[in-house]
């Protein structure tokens, strides 16, 4: 469904990624793990069109989307929840969700119904400013907002960052639920164990290249992964 | 006397507010002080006088005054908005990823260019338009209020209410606020940043055009440098209200207009030539006491 072929985004003065190959099939959850600065966020920002790759191709359902402007990529069905949630602090919860539905992909009332079902707290707080929500609620809003574009693929960047363990498991449960509804997920995480437990397959990114890849189960048992990312 | 100055101040303040909105909207989205904005207003005033003169010459004003004013407004808005749109595309967009000083200098360049362009094509002397409105109006508590003053205040108020509703309620308005808060995130949601920025320049320039036409009718006189003074004052109004804040620009404009006309008649009196300096005394005082402006927000919320 989504394919990154030798993607080489030129990011500032250094090349953060060196020929990345990632392939995601329809309906999968794929996790991309790696340490700080390994190039995970760069990878997502390149898929979303915020950063332009200097070489390589990004293909969605046989359509080359390399170098498309971000708004056209969203229109193609790729939606991202970036690191740090980045909700609009001075828009209300409802307005944040409306911005998610900016392109009008799908029926607004059905979409918002689905988001409110996933995160009932957002319905309670719809008139509150985004900036007044707690960290966990902001993460819910960020995911809900991305879901408002009715994406085929959801890119999630560190959704567990800075959240309490209870909130983390809640967010991961929701990701699972979203996936069961047919949305393909690419999950970037530092919390490798939780990510691999949730996903079908995983990739390890180190210094801008993919070093290990495989079924998540295998990876949980992989000596190197256990040592470097699972803290065993 | 007081009521007279109050009306004069409100008239002046409405015009400042309309221009200030253009500064504050562009600043809110690009963090750029668009120094060429005053010149857009000047272009609007020029075109206003030219068109009204033309409509008078062909006898349209004597047949239907309101039709000629509406036509003048519409044509001027289109003209100024296309200028604003083009200026952004040519002078600011290519510099969007440059250091913040570069577009600022580019803006000053556009401003100087437009002043000289108008000076060369229209002449360096004042362009006068014998007012078709005269002193028509009514007396209220021994104060002369002209219909034109009343119209300026009312039209400005209505436009500002409409703009406020537009920004608060419409999809484009919400997208503008979203872009102002986080451009990258807005584009990750499918909002076309370029379109939103263009819309901001078009709206801001349209408001300046309306202000220009109204001033042209009010004073019946334009020259190529009116944009400078008006621009700096409207900028003061925007800072006074809190730059980036739309209600702040409206409030700041009205306060500045009132302060100028009341200050000139009650405080300055025989030093009336210092009237313009009054605006800047207010600006300096505000910057010292409340740097974020009356309704402005401190910038710590940029996470």
Q: For B111-135, write each residue's pLDDT tens digit.
A: 999 999 999 998 888 888 776 676 7
Q: What's the pLDDT score for residue B299?
A: 53
Winning range, highest mean pLDDT, from B183-197, B238-252, B276-290: B183-197
CA distance B181 to chain A (A): 6
Phi, psi of B178 (to 5 degrees): -65, -45
- Chain B residue at shortest CA distance from A76: B190
Contacts of B192 in chain A (CB under 8 A): 69, 71
Phi, psi of B3 (to 5 degrees): -65, -40
Cross-chain CB nearest to B187 (options A71, A84, A91):
A71
Contacts of B184 in chain A (CB under 8 A): 50, 82, 86
A71 and B185: CB-CB below 8 Å? Answer: no
Q: What's the pLDDT score for residue B300?
A: 46
Per cent of chain B over pLDDT 70 is 97
ipTM of the complex: 0.92
Contacts of A71 in chain B (CB under 8 A): 187, 190-193
Residues in CB range of B270: below 8 A, 6 or more apart: none
The structure tokens listed for B299 are 């910038």
C-alpha span between B152 and B219 (Å, rounded): 12
Mean pLDDT lowest for which of A72-81, A187-196, B180-189, B275-284? B275-284
Which of A71, A91, A115 is most worth mutating to test chain B (most B CB atoms within 10 A of its CB)?
A: A71
Q: What's the pLDDT score for residue B301?
A: 42
Contacts of A89 in chain B (CB under 8 A): 181, 301, 303
Assess whether pLDDT exceeds 80 at residue B28.
Answer: yes
C-alpha span between B31 and B2 (Å, rounded): 39
CA distance A39 to chain B (A): 18
- Rounded to two decimals, the pTM is 0.90
C-alpha span between B163 and B70 (Å, rounded): 19
Give chain B's mean pLDDT.
89
Instruction: Give the residue-averaged pLDDT of B287-292.
Output: 86
Q: Is beta strand A153-157 parallel, antiparallel or unpaired with respect to A184-189?
A: parallel
CA distance A145 to chain B (A): 8
| Torsion angle, alpha carbons of A104, B186, B246, B207, to 10 | -70
């Amino acid at each position: 469904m989504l394919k990154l072929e030798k993607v080489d985004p030129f990011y500032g003065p250094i090349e953060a990624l060196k020929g990345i190959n990632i392939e995601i099939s329809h309906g999968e959850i794929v996790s991309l793990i790696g340490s700080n600065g390994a190039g995970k966020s760069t990878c997502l920002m390149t898929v979303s069109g915020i950063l332009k790759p200097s070489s390589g191709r990004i293909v969605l359902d046989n359509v080359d989307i390399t170098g498309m402007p971000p708004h056209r990529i969203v229109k193609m069905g790729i939606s991202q929840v970036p690191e740090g949630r980045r909700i609009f602090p001075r828009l209300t919860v409802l307005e944040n969700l409306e911005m998610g539905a900016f392109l009008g992909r799908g029926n607004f009332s059905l979409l918002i119904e689905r988001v409110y079902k996933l995160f009932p707290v957002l319905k309670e707080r719809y008139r509150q400013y985004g900036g007044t929500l707690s960290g966990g609620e902001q993460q819910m809003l960020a995911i809900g907002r991305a879901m408002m574009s009715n994406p085929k693929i959801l890119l999630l960047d560190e959704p567990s960052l800075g959240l309490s363990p209870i909130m983390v498991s809640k967010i991961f449960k929701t990701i699972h639920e979203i996936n069961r509804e047919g949305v393909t997920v690419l999950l970037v995480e530092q919390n490798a164990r939780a990510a691999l437990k949730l996903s079908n397959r995983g990739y390890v990114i180190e210094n801008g290249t993919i070093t290990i890849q495989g079924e998540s189960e295998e990876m949980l048992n992989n000596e190197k992964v256990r040592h470097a990312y699972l803290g065993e | 006397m007081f009521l007279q100055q109050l009306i004069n101040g409100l008239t002046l303040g409405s015009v400042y507010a309309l221009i200030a909105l253009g500064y504050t909207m562009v600043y809110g989205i690009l963090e750029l002080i668009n120094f060429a904005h005053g010149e857009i207003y000047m272009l609007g005033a020029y075109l206003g006088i030219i068109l009204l003169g033309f409509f008078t010459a062909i006898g349209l004003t004597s047949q239907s005054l309101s039709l000629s004013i509406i036509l003048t407004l519409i044509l001027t808005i289109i003209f100024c908005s296309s200028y604003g749109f083009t200026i952004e595309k040519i002078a600011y967009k290519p510099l969007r990823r440059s250091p913040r000083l570069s577009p600022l200098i580019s803006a000053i360049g556009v401003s100087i260019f437009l002043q000289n362009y108008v000076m060369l094509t229209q002449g360096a002397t004042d362009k006068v338009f014998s007012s078709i409105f005269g002193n028509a109006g009514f007396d209220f508590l021994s104060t002369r209020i002209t219909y034109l003053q009343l119209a300026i205040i009312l039209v400005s108020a209505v436009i500002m209410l409409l703009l406020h509703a537009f920004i608060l309620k419409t999809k484009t308005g919400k997208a503008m606020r979203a872009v102002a808060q986080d451009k990258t995130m807005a584009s990750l949601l499918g909002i076309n940043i370029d379109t939103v920025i263009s819309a901001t320049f078009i709206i801001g320039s349209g408001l300046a055009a309306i202000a220009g036409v109204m001033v042209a009718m009010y004073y019946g006189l334009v020259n190529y440098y009116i944009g400078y003074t008006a621009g700096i004052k409207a900028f003061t109004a925007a800072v006074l209200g809190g730059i980036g804040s739309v209600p702040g620009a409206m409030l700041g404009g009205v306060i500045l207009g009132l302060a100028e006309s009341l200050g000139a008649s009650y405080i300055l009196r025989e030093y009336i030539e210092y009237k313009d300096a009054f605006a800047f005394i207010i600006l300096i005082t505000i910057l010292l006491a409340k740097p974020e402006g009356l309704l402005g927000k401190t910038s710590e919320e940029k996470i």
